[in-house]
Structure 1
Amino acid sequence: MTPRLARDVRRAGGGQAWFERQLQPQRIKDGPADRTAHWWPSLHRSPAELWQRQTSGVEGGYEVMDDYARWVLVRRILAKRQLLEVMTEFFENHLHVAAVGDPQFVHRVDYGNTIRKHALGRFDQLLLKTTTHPAMLIYLDAAESTKEHPNENLGRELLELHTLGAGNYDEKDVRDSARILTGYSVDYWESWRPVYNHDDHYRGKVRVRGFVDKNGKANGKGTTAAYLRYLARHKDTAQHLAYKLCVKFIHDDPPKALVRHLAQVYLQNDTAIVPVLRELVASASFKHAYAAKVRDPGEDVVATYRALGVRLKKPGPDGEVDGSALQALVWQADSVGIAPFAWGQPNGQPIDNESWSSPARLLASMRFHQGVAGGWADDATGYRQPEQWLPGRHPRFDEVVDHLAQQLLHQQASKRLLKACSVACDVKPYEAIDKDHPLVEWGFPRLLSTILDSPDHLSR
Structure 2
Amino acid sequence: MSEHARRAAAYAPLPVLEPAAHHLVSRFSHGVTPALTTAVRRKGHLAWFEEQLRPARVADPAGDALAAWWPDLSLTPLELWTRQVKGVRGGWDVMRDYGSWLLARRHTSTRQVLEVVTGFWENHLHVPVTSDGHFTWRARYGALVRQHALGRFDRMLVAAVTHPAMLLHLDAARSTAEAPNENLGRELLELFTVGVGRYTEDDVKDSARILTGWHVDTNDTWQAMYVPEHHSTGPVRVGTFRDPNPSRDGRALTRRYLTHLAHHPDTAAHLARKLAVTFVSDDPPAALVRLLARTYLEHDTAIVPVLRALVRSPAFRAAAGAKLRDPSEDVVATYRALGVRLLPPVSSQSATAAMLGSTGALGLTTGTWPRPDGAPTTNAAWSSPLRVLASVDLHWSMAHQSWPSKELVHRATADYLPPLPVTLQELVDHVSRIVLGKPAPAYLVEACALATGYPAGEVVTAEHALVKHHVPKVLATLLDSPDHYSR
TM-score when scaled to structure 1?
0.97
> Quick one: which amino acid aligns to residue 274 of structure 1?
V
Structural mapping, 1:185-204, within 5 Å: 185-204=215-234
Q: Residue in 1 aligned with 2:486?
A: 459
Query: Which of the residues 271, 276, 282 maps onto 1:241?
Result: 271
Q: Residue in 1 aligned with 2:5?
A: none
The alpha-carbon deviation at position 299 of structure 1 amounts to 0.6
Give the 3-state SS of the residue equivalent to 1:271 in structure 2: coil
CA contact (8 A) 1:128 1:228 kept: yes
The question of 1:215 aligning with 2:245 is answered: yes
Q: Residue in 1 aligned with 2:111?
A: 81
> Quick one: which amino acid aligns to residue 451 of structure 1?
L
CA contact (8 A) 1:163 1:232 kept: yes
Of the structure 1 ranges 122-131 and 410-419, higher mean CA displacement relative to structure 2 is found in 410-419
Q: Deviations over 1:217-270 (max 9, x none)?
A: 011001100000000000000000000000000011101011011101100110
Give the 3-state SS of the residue equivalent to 2:365 in structure 1: coil
Q: Residue in 1 aligned with 2:35?
A: 4
The question of 1:163 aligning with 2:193 is answered: yes
Q: Residue in 2 aligned with 1:287?
A: 317
How far apart in 1 are the matches of 2:466 and 2:98? 39
The alpha-carbon deviation at position 457 of structure 1 amounts to 0.4
Query: Which of the residues 133, 140, 152 maps onto 1:110?
Result: 140
The question of 1:336 aligning with 2:336 is answered: no
The question of 1:64 aligning with 2:91 is answered: no
Of the structure 1 ranges 376-385 and 262-271, higher mean CA displacement relative to structure 2 is found in 376-385
The question of 1:433 aligning with 2:433 is answered: no
Q: Residue in 1 aligned with 2:426?
A: 399
How far apart in 1 are the matches of 2:187 and 2:413? 51
The alpha-carbon deviation at position 431 of structure 1 amounts to 1.4
Structural mapping, 1:30-429, within 5 Å: 30-316=60-346, 321-376=347-402, 377-429=404-456
Q: Which has the higher contact order (CA 8 A, sep 6+)?
A: 2
How far apart in 1 are the matches of 2:81 and 2:374? 25
How far apart in 1 are the matches of 2:468 and 2:84? 48
> Quick one: which amino acid aligns to residue 331 of structure 2?
V
CA contact (8 A) 2:95 2:129 kept: yes
The alpha-carbon deviation at position 436 of structure 1 amounts to 3.4
Q: Residue in 2 aligned with 1:447?
A: 474
CA contact (8 A) 1:308 1:408 kept: yes
How far apart in 2 are the matches of 1:307 and 1:42? 30
How far apart in 1 are the matches of 2:133 and 2:467? 51
CA contact (8 A) 2:344 2:407 kept: no
CA RMSD of aligned residues (A): 1.1
The alpha-carbon deviation at position 384 of structure 1 amounts to 2.8
How far apart in 1 are the matches of 2:200 and 2:107? 43
Give the 3-state SS of the residue equivalent to 1:371 in structure 2: helix
Give the 3-state SS of the residue equivalent to 2:215 in structure 1: strand
- Unaligned stretches of 5+ in structure 2? 1-31
CA contact (8 A) 2:324 2:382 kept: yes
- Unaligned stretches of 5+ in structure 1? none
How far apart in 2 are the matches of 1:128 and 1:440? 57
The alpha-carbon deviation at position 124 of structure 1 amounts to 0.3
How far apart in 2 are the matches of 1:83 and 1:307? 17
The alpha-carbon deviation at position 388 of structure 1 amounts to 2.8
The alpha-carbon deviation at position 46 of structure 1 amounts to 0.4
CA contact (8 A) 1:295 1:458 kept: yes
The alpha-carbon deviation at position 381 of structure 1 amounts to 4.1
The alpha-carbon deviation at position 449 of structure 1 amounts to 0.9
Give the 3-state SS of the residue equivalent to 1:57 in structure 2: coil
